[in-house]
Structure 1
Amino acid sequence: MNHFTQTIGVNGARLTGFLSDAGRGASTGSVLVVPGGGYMTLSPGEAEPVALAYLAEGFHAFVLHYSVGAEATFAQALEDAEAAVAEIRLHADEWGVAPRRLAMIGFSAGGHLAASLGTVGTNRPDALLLGYAITTDITLGAGREYPPVVPHVGNGNPPTFLFATGEDAVVPVRHTLAFAAALDEAGVEFELHVFRDGPHGLGLARPREGATVAPPAFAEWFGLSVRWLRRRWC
């Protein structure tokens, strides 16, 4: 495994890469991880652990440390996401990455950022994976509002894998269902999984110190997402 971190874009964002030894070249897909945190911080459990899980499945994996905090704006975060996708594709030959097999997975506010890039961005990923993502009107962090994504969904959106829980009280499941309905209306391929049990922010739902005990069923989203990506790219 080749592991590195570098600064990208104009806002000082960081991109951490984990390049797989299992496969390099034109057919090797990549997953760019965008952690949540309400645009105020970045959730550790939705960052490196997710990237390393995809790495173990033979994908190249990256984590985007985008602009967050009281002084950061959504526009800056979107610039960071654009820069990350552009950087990965720019170094495709050097890193052994397939430039058109790049998936972006975002959680919560990170899901909002990923969905925004996939919907209105210039450098869009080739597939989206959205975990309990914000997609409709909501107020986060310091009372700031962030633009809803659903009204802008169109046939240019990439295929999308969505997962959420019915018990999420922070980002209700209606966000996921609304995005799925918009994709359906636009004729965009998607796969949707709504698990009955589980609070917000479960990530991989694997045991870790201080973490909420996760319902075992929710952890199935990861294997389902791997199979979904492999069906698309193999």
Structure 2
Amino acid sequence: MKTLKLTLGQPDFPVTVTYYQPAAIADFDQPPRRPLVILLPGGGYRFYSDRENEIVALQYLAAGYAVAVVAYRLIDQPPVYPTALYQLTQVVTTFQRHAATYAIDAHRILLVGFSAGGHVAALYADLWPQLVQTCGLPATLGAIQAVVLAYPVIGLRLGWPTDAATRQAISGDWDLTEADQLVTSQNPPAFIWTTKTDELVPPQNAQDYVQALRRVGVPVRFHLYPHGPHALSLARPLTAFAAGADRDATFGERYVEPTVATWFADQLAWLRRLM
């Protein structure tokens, strides 16, 4: 594996990307062009969750994907929007233009977003044609082949955040933050999951986005699991909080949900059929 720290984008909105490239296999006469996951961790726009960052990237790497983890704009530099979307546009189009350099397949790029990162991914999936145009890039760039959303924020009116100050720090004067209201037939196919008992981002977020996609005929795979807190990540011990670490002794057990943990293999199978 090769790991690179890249700074992409224009001077007004640079973005740091950590790129994980699978090692070349010496037995192959022709090195394969890997599909690319562009990974957007959650963290409430305040930080990037380590439980949805490199740990998840390595799971995709093991499945044969290259991975680019994006450090999009946070609320310590308000507002988040539209800068986060311009940053993501530059990431997508840079990898498309330089696919050979990064040994990826420019026609097999997907976004994977968790929680707040899912909001960034969903908005990009909705708005990519106009984002590409606004960034002065060729109209032939910007399309992605799929989006995977885990317990995503979809609209700032749908239960998170609960305070006006945070909403303002996220949106500023940008009024295109309700992803379910911006869906078009140009949206890519989507794999979306959440839980009925998510205590932070109500499942209505995911459900409203799924309904919007289905109304315009975009293919969707949706899992609404019956149990589990917000931010399950892989829902395996690998991404659970340590039991008893600054919390009650059973806290970490809540983040291990074997039924939910099937999502990762399910979406890999879905992606294989799609891409």
TM-score range, shorter chain: over 0.9
Q: Counterpart amino acid of 2:263?
A: W
Residues 4-23 of structure 1 show CA distances to partners (whole Å, capped at 9, x for unaligned) of 11111133321111112367
Residues 117 and 124, structure 1, Cα contact 8 Å, conserved in 2: no
The answer to whether structure 1 residue 101 and structure 2 residue 108 are counterparts is: yes
> Higher mean Cα deviation, 11-20 or 147-156?
11-20
Equivalents in 2 of 1:22, 1:204: separation in Å? 27
- Aligned identity (percent) is 32
For structure 2, the 5+ residue unaligned runs are: 26-30, 133-141, 172-176, 244-251
**1:123-171 CA distance string (max 9 Å, x none):** 2421100001111224538422541111110100000000111110111
Question: In the aligned structure 2, how far is the partner of 1:48 from the partner of 1:149?
Answer: 26
Aligned to 2:262: 220
Secondary structure at the counterpart of residue 106 of structure 2 = coil
Partner in structure 2 of residue 174 of structure 1: 204
Find the aligned partners of 1:83 and 1:45 in 2 and give their Cα distance.
Answer: 25
CA distance in 1, matches of 2:195, 2:70: 24
- Asked if structure 1 preserves the Cα contact closer than 8 Å seen for 2:236 and 2:257, the reply is no
Q: Distance in 2 between matches of 1:18 and 1:4?
A: 7
Q: 2:242 aligned with 1:210, yes or no? A: yes
Note if contact 1:112-1:149 (Cα within 8 Å) is conserved in structure 2.
yes
- 1:157-211 alpha-carbon deviations (Å, 9 max, x no partner): 0000001111101111111111111111010011011111110011112224537
1:129 equivalent to 2:148? Answer: yes
Give TM-score scaled by structure 2 length: 0.79
Match of 2:60 in 1: 54
Matched positions, count: 232
How far is 1:216 from its partner? 1.3
Please state whether the residue corresponding to 2:104 is helix, strand or coil: coil
Secondary structure in 1 matching 2:82: helix
| 1:230 and 2:232 matched | no
Larger Rg: 2
Question: Who is 1:16 aligned against?
Answer: 18
Any idea what SS the aligned residue of 2:262 has?
Answer: helix
Instruction: Mark the CA change 1:22 to 1:57 in structure 2 (over 3 Å): closer, same or farther.
Output: farther
Residues 37-52 of structure 1 aligned to structure 2 (within 5 Å)? 37-52=43-58
Q: Map 1:139-178 onto structure 2 (within 5 A).
A: 139-140=160-161, 142-145=165-168, 146=171, 147-178=177-208
**Distance of 2:143 and 2:17 partners within structure 1:** 17
Partner amino acid, structure 1, of 2:166: G
Q: Counterparts of 1:59 and 1:198 in 2: how far apart (Å)?
A: 28
5+ residue gaps in structure 1?
none
Inter-CA distance 171–209: structure 2 relative to 1 (3 Å threshold): closer
Q: Over aligned residues, Cα RMSD in angstroms?
A: 1.8
Mapped to 2, the partners of 1:71 and 1:65 lie a distance apart of: 13
TM-fit CA distance, 1:218: 1.1
Render the CA deviation track for 1:17-66: whole Å, top value 9, x for unaligned.
1112367444x311111011111211111111111100001111111111
- What is the rounded CA distance, in whole Å, between the counterparts of 1:19 and 1:39 in structure 2? 26
- Alignment partner of 1:5 is 2:11: no
